[in-house]
Structure 1
Amino acid sequence: MGKKVKKESEPPPQDVFDPLPIQSQKVATVVLMLNSPEEEVLVKACEAIHNYAEKGDENRSSLLGLGAVEPLSLLISHEDKLVRRNAFMALGVMAANSDVKILLKKLDVIPSVIGKLSLEEDPVVLEFATLCLASLSMDFSCKVQIAEQEGLALLIQLLSSLDPDIKKNSLESIYNLVQDLPSRMALQRLNGVPPLLELLGSEFPVIQQLTLSTLATVTMDTDTRVTFREERGLEKLMDILCQKELSDLHAEVLQVMSNVLEDRESLQLIRDTGGLQTLLQFISTATLPGLQTHAVKAIAKLAQSSENHRLLHEQDTERSLVELLSVDSASVRTATCHAIAAMSLNLSSQDAFRHQDGIHAVVQLLGSEAGEVRQAAAQALASLTRRNPLNAHAVYEAEGVEALVQQLRDICPGTAAHAAAVLTNMAEQEVLRVSILSRGVMAALVEPLQSADTHTLVQATQALSALASQAEGRADLRNAGVLGPLVKLLRSNHKDVRRNACWATSVCANDELTVMEMCKLGALDVLQEINGSANRRNQFSERAFQSLLSFNLSLKYSLTNTLASTDITTDGFYDPGQARAGQSGLTLEDLSKQPVNQRRPVIAINAKPPETVSIQEPEESQQDSPTEALTASVLSAKAYISKGKGKGRKEDEKLRDEEESKPPLEVVDMDTEKQWMLPYDAAFHSLVTKATNTIGIIHEESEQYSALARLVSEAMGGPVEVDRQHDFLWELHLSELRYELQSNIIPIGRIRKGTYYHRALLYKVLADRIGVSCSLVRGEYNRAWNEVLLYIGMPCYPGCQPPPTAHLVDLLHQPGKLLRANTPQAIQYQTI
């Protein structure tokens, strides 16, 4: 056998690179390494990026700019476990950056992240995968995608992980998701409440607080509250409340309880277990404002149920709430006022708060510097005074009126709305209403009546209705400029605002000056438009329209062509003719300024003689101003003529010479000072006197109607045969009068030839003055007639009077004849 020869080793291959330790201090270089094909390089690069990103958000932004996000989003699905883990670590930390989150949405990374949510996965991967979802789940579109990928179910499963970081991140993701209703409902279906309740016993406070915050959200759902109660959730909450060492969780516990106790069964359970006393004890013993605030919020929610309220009332909760009003904390006072408002929905609590001097304490809070306190105090007073005159008077005695009026100008709409509600409640009592008006409430209402807040508008219009029932209130609202905003609200698209504005309009329309002002502002036009709409019309708009017309019978007759027997005309009434669609009614003064035209003349009524003016010689020590002197001269001349002291042309010339011999006066333009007056109609005055003396003494009602008809016919040209009406030249007569007077307005007493509508109008205005009941109806083609009611026939038995029947009064053809309504004769009289 030959000798063995030692075999030499083979040389290393030439294409293999010797191992190279990787070190770099350049971030850009590390980012480039994320594209390496070597696992070892990728592991080190991902680790380095994770460490760098943890140092702050500025570093994360830098990595984003260098393009690190795209390769990391791919590496979380790498087949190498170490690469995958380090990539998740880096991406989970970077996802906290808002710009990174935007890019991750575009890269559609959520399916890859959710795909790794399994208890069998590497705990480090789960920790940072859930951390990534905790950041992404704050975005709405990401929430939708997580839900679609069934991420909520996987996150609920991870709540049972042994790793506290996984629990914390999963819990935070769940909290973000359940802020939306679909996810809350899904959590209930997935039986997510029991795992949450288990976390209440965690040794980590952050997990307990996150759990309570999540429960506070999901227990807003009724079905979830049932599950919460069945899983002994209330007992767990009460257990935490009883442990002083867990006081940092008490505020969150009370927040959850305020939701859970809305259910009747839960309240019964907590009452039976003594939990209600524990809850109420927090009100008086808690020293931290946060705890007191949450405890009172729970009470406020409890009080919204009538049965719950009874239990709270039995525990003398009102006394505890009044004591909390003295706590120097805006949040506590705000919550307490809300609780008082909730409790005061019941009359027994309203009285209890008054007996505890709670009303005075709440009134004092109206002057708080904190806006939320002022608003809550006004809300509490609105509930306290609702249908409770004694409490309303207590607010007055606590000097709350001035503060409430000031609140109407508060920049917070809610405060103004609640203050208006309190004033509305108080205004039901006349003495309080007078006090409110004396504080300038009408001027203060102008601002809330122009608010953009619907609730404020509703309450402000209600207050206006309550306060405008007195004449003083209506005078104030005219001077304060309230009517302008009110009329604008009639056009509101909000049903309640429009309805209240219509009601306020009908209340304000209780005197002529207010009605005239509203008509000038276009109230009638708006109401006509509303009442012409089937959708917008309501009983309030119809009443407002009629209320305005009742104080302007001229406009009512023009718009509706009818005056009822209860519509009593007075001096100043005029008939401008039937109003055209969309035409605004003009006043007599406006019509008097129009040049003479060929349109239908306006018939005016005025039997009021001019007032007698007595002129006294001025004392020597007094000297009239030029204006006064000129006015005195004019009045003196008028008085001289009216008294008939002139005895002929010579006397008149003598008087004129005496006037001309006086020193010349400075002429003052008085057009802007004098007020237009409707001329006195002496002829009509004479007719009124004649009717009073001759017809007023007639006892038979039907004979009164006929006698008045004959008087009207005699004054306006006598009977006219039906077939001879074309010879009765009443149009020419009116045209002559118009040019004689140089006016389109003709006093009714000057008309000597009148047709149907002239005679019907004269009949109505004379009847109104002598107490004869009749209506006035305008037809077509210059027709008009009067309807009267007559009792015809004998009673069928004593005390039984048959109903009256309507008759038309013939004023033109057979003056005095009464035509039964709807008969051929009556119809012929009404139509051509």
Structure 2
Amino acid sequence: MRNRTELLKLNAPKYLLHLLDHPEINIRRFTLKALAQLCELPEGPEHVLKDPQNMMKVALQIVKVEDVFVLEFASLLLSELTLQPRGCTQLYAANILGSLFSRMKNSLDPDVQKNCLQTLSNLLNDPVCATAVTKNPQFSWPSLTALAQSKFLAIQRAALKTIVTLICRYDKNLQKSFRSTTGLFELCEIIESYEFRDVHPQVLDLLRHYVKEEENASFFYETGCVQRLLMYLHMALPQMKPCCLAVLTQMSMNKKGRDALFETEVDLEFCEQLLSSDVALLADAALGVSNMTKLLPSAIRMSNTNIIQALCAILEDDAAVWFNVRINALRALVKLCRIIPKAAFSLVDPKTFAALRSINQNYNDSPIQAQRLSVQVYRNLLNYYMSAKGMLNEDFMLELLGILQRPDITLKMMTCTVFTTMMDRDVAKDLFTSCHGESVISKSLRIDHVGLRTSLCEVIIASVTTEGAEKYLQLGTIHYMVENKRIRYVVNTWEPALKAIFRQNPSAKLAYIGRLDIDDFTTDGFYCLKRLSQRFPTLHEVTTTPALCKNPVIICTFNRPDWMRSEDEHSNESINRRSVKETIPSLRFLNLPDDVDLRDHLLKLKMWLGDSKSYHYKELEEGNFEVTYRDRCDEVSTSLKHKAHLIAEYVTGQMNGLGQRDCSMPCVELHLADLMVELNSPIINIGRIKCGGSLERAILYKILADRLAVPCSLHRATSAHAWCEVAVPDVDADDKDGEENYPAGLLRANYVVDLLMRPGRLLPLGGREARLICGPKTAPPYTTSTISELKTTEVEPITILNPERSAKLLYSPPRIGQKA
């Protein structure tokens, strides 16, 4: 090699190329041999390929000369030159492909055949020349397959390498022409012959590439080669079995291949190999099982075996490598548990399920791909009731919450999908809250990732309960979601998640949004702060934080507290009240005063209104003070407007003041202060308030309207100013045809309830008198998230003699240059 390098430095190819036309045959022999040896150096081909005429001279030696040594060294030189792209181009331009194929087929010298095969392989590696080679009339598969059975090992390997190169082009015409020959049978004969055992790995690798095409896989089955390959698998040497099984596994990756494997029961062969002691076969066997599950009959047949136990045994085996043995076993579990209920039931057995859960319990020793696949198995197990039932326990919930706190974003999103699917069951929601799932969700929401936030919001939508919404309020999650207004334009589930929380906690919605819509119902435990701070507190914080005790809190409690219920109640009443208690939020743990007056208000109104048919609903629970039956509304009638008017008159009569019936702001404040002193608590039942301003009246109207089936919305503009809007069918005064029914889904707020000026009136929304009650449209809502930016003006105490005039003065529009 040192001599060659020195000769190349002396530009020896320049002088040798002049001797290619020498008449003496021996000189040409040694010239071609020397050039071939010099071209073995990396820089050697460049000296020859500088001039295309040099390639023509070498090519003519192949075409015209019949000397064995000249042909050997000329073909060797061509095999070295065509390793360069420029050499392939120049050889194609020389137009000697026919002679090259002829020498490859007919030459008696094995070296010439080998070199021609190598040259052909080099041409096939070039994208431009490959098409020309396959379209040449002299090209034929039989000549290549015949060389694959040569008695010379080097020629066999070169021929098989060339066939693999052709097969891997995935040219449909080329594949079709190969199917029309007997090449496939000849390849099978090679692997069945012990004489050719040295090239068995190459032949099996060729077959693995061949069956990637669906048509080839189908032809492979039709010609009976699948059965021959199975026989070879059973009789092959141990080192050949992985290569053989790889061919069958490759067939399972396309539809026609799976059909062929099912007909020949190769899927059961995959299951048997999983139980074998040969570790080298486990990866392909597990992948084959995973692919065969895409064919439902095959999946059912495999599930009748002990495949689940075998796969879990692989997961438990610490000696098995993760890539790709245990990873492929996990892939098989993912596919089986997705479509086969029996497999899912078998996996949730404590012994097998422990093997799966160990991946996440020992996650420091498991790759992240294994953790993701195990979570996907969890998701598939939730598709069936029996398997999902085995997962609904506290330990498993804690495991999922632990997975959600790991750093991998994809793993977090997959875990969120498991949570979302699991929350279809009420037991899962209770477990999620008891395991402090809201805290984990709240922390994860701070991660700036759109996909993760979208998944987390989906979990919130699916899992939020009344107690969970209270925890989100306590953790500051609601405040964070309301304040980050820009995120809702990026995360499409941000706003729906916030609405889901507000639906379970209307108190927080009124505080952060400044209104309760028609579809928002005041549940038992609804409360409202007279004055809001920058952050809306929970009711528990109000009772335990001394700084908040100065602020009156108006609360709605219909159901009697637990501590007031006697133990000797009848069993039926206990059952009814127990069902009511289960619907009450976590406020039931607080010793709140009983609001007998509020229940009396509702009962009086029911007797006053009688059995009204203004709202047609289904399954109304008479003993329950909740408003869930509003969701089942079908139709409304024209008498609903009269009902809204009567409720307004009743609310005004109950809150029209004490003594001289003075309801000015100072009197309302004094009345609330007296109640706080009397109750020794800032929490005041709405039923005990007898002197109320616009806020207190609007709250009471909304509470009663929800339970009397009047569609009502509550709005709050300043600290003490609020009003209600109702959605009732408009009634023409001249219409005397009686009641008419309308679809409830068409209801929209169309009237403002007058609770101050001339109580009981329903003013058309947008009218002049309605604007006096609602205030200017530009007035911002009174919310806790913007309280630091707005400064409310205090109204000086005044003496009011006219009650109607006093109602007008309760709301003082802002002067020019003054904020609301």
User: SS of the residue aligned with 1:247?
Assistant: helix
Superposed displacement of residue 295, structure 1: 3.4
Change (3 A) 1:464 1:690: closer
Superposed displacement of residue 586, structure 1: 4.8
Partner of 1:392: 344
Superposed displacement of residue 322, structure 1: 1.7
User: SS of the residue aligned with 2:366?
Assistant: coil
Change (3 A) 1:679 1:450: closer
User: SS of the residue aligned with 2:339?
Assistant: coil
The residue type paired with residue 801 of structure 1 is N
Change (3 A) 1:395 1:248: farther
Match of 1:349 among 280, 298, 302: 298
Partner of 1:567: 520
**More contact order relative to length (CA 8 Å, sep ≥ 6):** 2
Match of 1:321 among 270, 273, 292: 270
Question: Do residues 803 (structure 1) and 753 (structure 2) align?
Answer: no
Q: Is the 8 A contact 2:474 2:538 kept in 1?
A: no
| C-alpha separation in 1, matches of 2:59 and 2:443 | 66
The residue type paired with residue 803 of structure 1 is P
User: SS of the residue aligned with 1:816?
Assistant: coil
Change (3 A) 1:449 1:398: closer
| C-alpha separation in 1, matches of 2:717 and 2:235 | 82
Question: Do residues 200 (structure 1) and 148 (structure 2) align?
Answer: yes
Segment drifting more, 588-597 vs 546-555:
588-597
Partner of 2:23: none
User: SS of the residue aligned with 1:802?
Assistant: strand
Match of 2:187 among 226, 237, 244: 237
Q: Is the 8 A contact 1:777 1:784 kept in 2?
A: yes
| C-alpha separation in 2, matches of 1:530 and 1:289 | 65
CA deviation string 1:190-232 (max 9, x = no partner): 4299586665344443554465466556645532645544566
Partner of 1:813: 757
Question: Do residues 556 (structure 1) and 509 (structure 2) align?
Answer: yes
The residue type paired with residue 216 of structure 2 is S
Superposed displacement of residue 338, structure 1: 0.8
User: SS of the residue aligned with 1:310?
Assistant: helix
The structure with the largest alpha-carbon Rg is 1
Question: Do residues 460 (structure 1) and 415 (structure 2) align?
Answer: yes
Q: Is the 8 A contact 2:509 2:516 kept in 1?
A: yes
User: SS of the residue aligned with 1:784?
Assistant: strand
Segment drifting more, 329-338 vs 214-223:
214-223
Question: Do residues 688 (structure 1) and 598 (structure 2) align?
Answer: yes
Q: Is the 8 A contact 1:360 1:398 kept in 2?
A: no
Partner of 1:509: 464
Partner of 1:786: 725
Please report the TM-score for the alignment, with normalisation by the length of structure 1.
0.65
The residue type paired with residue 296 of structure 1 is L
Q: Is the 8 A contact 1:756 1:811 kept in 2?
A: yes
| C-alpha separation in 1, matches of 2:333 and 2:508 | 43
| C-alpha separation in 2, matches of 1:109 and 1:151 | 19
Superposed displacement of residue 297, structure 1: 3.2
Partner of 2:130: 187
Change (3 A) 1:129 1:764: same
RMSD over aligned Cα atoms: 5.3
| C-alpha separation in 2, matches of 1:385 and 1:526 | 37
Q: Taking every aligned residue pair, what percent have the same amino acid on both sides?
A: 19
Structure 2 matches for 1:565-644, cutoff 5 A?
Answer: 565-575=518-528, 586-588=537-539, 603-605=553-555, 607=557
User: SS of the residue aligned with 1:191?
Assistant: helix
Q: Is the 8 A contact 1:524 1:548 kept in 2?
A: no
Change (3 A) 1:177 1:187: closer
The residue type paired with residue 762 of structure 1 is L
CA deviation string 1:452-483 (max 9, x = no partner): 76764454333233344455545655676765
User: SS of the residue aligned with 1:320?
Assistant: helix
Question: Do residues 273 (structure 1) and 183 (structure 2) align?
Answer: no
| C-alpha separation in 1, matches of 2:472 and 2:97 | 68
| C-alpha separation in 1, matches of 2:121 and 2:474 | 59
Superposed displacement of residue 261, structure 1: 2.6
Q: Is the 8 A contact 1:509 1:548 kept in 2?
A: yes
Q: Is the 8 A contact 1:76 1:83 kept in 2?
A: no
Q: Is the 8 A contact 2:379 2:417 kept in 1?
A: yes
Structure 2 matches for 1:665-684, cutoff 5 A?
Answer: 680=592
Superposed displacement of residue 332, structure 1: 1.0
Question: Do residues 340 (structure 1) and 293 (structure 2) align?
Answer: no
| C-alpha separation in 2, matches of 1:437 and 1:478 | 13
CA deviation string 1:417-448 (max 9, x = no partner): 22222222223344433423448333433565
Superposed displacement of residue 801, structure 1: 3.5
Superposed displacement of residue 348, structure 1: 1.0
Change (3 A) 1:148 1:822: farther
Q: Is the 8 A contact 1:591 1:744 kept in 2?
A: no
Structure 2 matches for 1:29-178, cutoff 5 A?
Answer: 49=3, 72=9, 74-79=11-16, 86=34, 89=37, 92=40, 95=42, 118-120=58-60, 124=73, 127=76
Change (3 A) 1:824 1:767: same
Identify unmatched segments of 5+ residues in structure 1.
1-46, 51-67, 96-103, 138-142, 615-674, 720-726
CA deviation string 1:350-406 (max 9, x = no partner): 210122333332232221221232221121121112132222113234832111111
User: SS of the residue aligned with 1:516?
Assistant: helix
| C-alpha separation in 2, matches of 1:440 and 1:172 | 64
Question: Do residues 360 (structure 1) and 321 (structure 2) align?
Answer: no
Change (3 A) 1:825 1:442: same
| C-alpha separation in 2, matches of 1:176 and 1:353 | 45
Q: Is the 8 A contact 1:478 1:514 kept in 2?
A: no
The residue type paired with residue 3 of structure 2 is I
| C-alpha separation in 1, matches of 2:482 and 2:158 | 57
Identify unmatched segments of 5+ residues in structure 2.
20-29, 62-69, 566-586, 615-639, 777-820
The residue type paired with residue 817 of structure 1 is R
| C-alpha separation in 1, matches of 2:123 and 2:540 | 71
Partner of 1:776: 713
| C-alpha separation in 2, matches of 1:365 and 1:811 | 74
